[in-house]
Amino acid sequence: MKQIVAALLVVSGIAAGASAQSASMTLKVRIAGEQGWSSSVSVSSGVVECAMFLGFDLAGAIGIAGAVYNIQGSGLSGDTVDIGSAGLDRQIPFAFGAASDAVFTVGNTFRIDNADDAGNVSDLGISTAQNTPSALGAGFDGSNPALVFRFNIVISGDADHVIQLNAPLNQLKRNLIGVYASAGATHATSITTGLSTTGATINVVIPAPSSLGMLGIGGLLASRRRTR
């Protein structure tokens, strides 16, 4: 009898593990013009590209349906957050449904949110969602994780500082991330357990004036060698 009970517990455990589900919001960054995304970059000036990825673990699911959240950051030092340039804001096909986003800045902090959400209400936010698989056909994005939102931070380059990016789970609308469970799904399946969020870091390191001078001298000497 003990062996039978143990066997049943093992089978039950396998079944529970098989039915486990989770979903994630992950922020990534990269220096403009470079390939690949990372959790952190170090720059002295220029543009840092930033992206939100939604991912999931649900057996049989074929792609992200969407989620509503906001993106927050701290540590700005004269830097500018850009969501209006070409290719930024909600990404195709995750721009299903009318919406307008805005950047709200207070001191050295910022929040990217629904343009009507000046009060930071959790039922509003950035709505990144795609239509059903059958409606989009070949245009359906089945990536896992899927890149759903992009923005840039233009670095001022005035002093060393660290910019932290995050997407708080307490701002995730209805505490869920939606996925399409099959190619024939006509509505999203909600993942409400195993939710996680991961931020990103931008380290701004300004070269000391003496270092810039040495770089200039090195370049001048190299130029003279080439002309001989």
Domains observed in the chain: 21-227 (2.60.40)
Supply the pLDDT for residue 20: 82
* CA–CA distance, 161 with 44 (Å, rounded to integer): 10
CB atoms within 10 A of CB 210: 8
**pLDDT means over runs of 10, the chain (228 residues):** 39 47 98 96 97 98 98 97 98 97 97 96 93 98 98 93 98 97 97 98 90 48 46
Question: Which DSSP category does 188 fall into?
Answer: P
Query: pTM for this one?
Result: 0.84
* CA–CA distance, 136 with 36 (Å, rounded to integer): 27
Supply the pLDDT for residue 2: 41
Supply the pLDDT for residue 14: 37
Sequence-separated (6 or more) residues with CB below 8 Å from residue 25 = 52, 53, 54, 67, 69, 167, 169, 172, 177, 195, 196, 197, 198
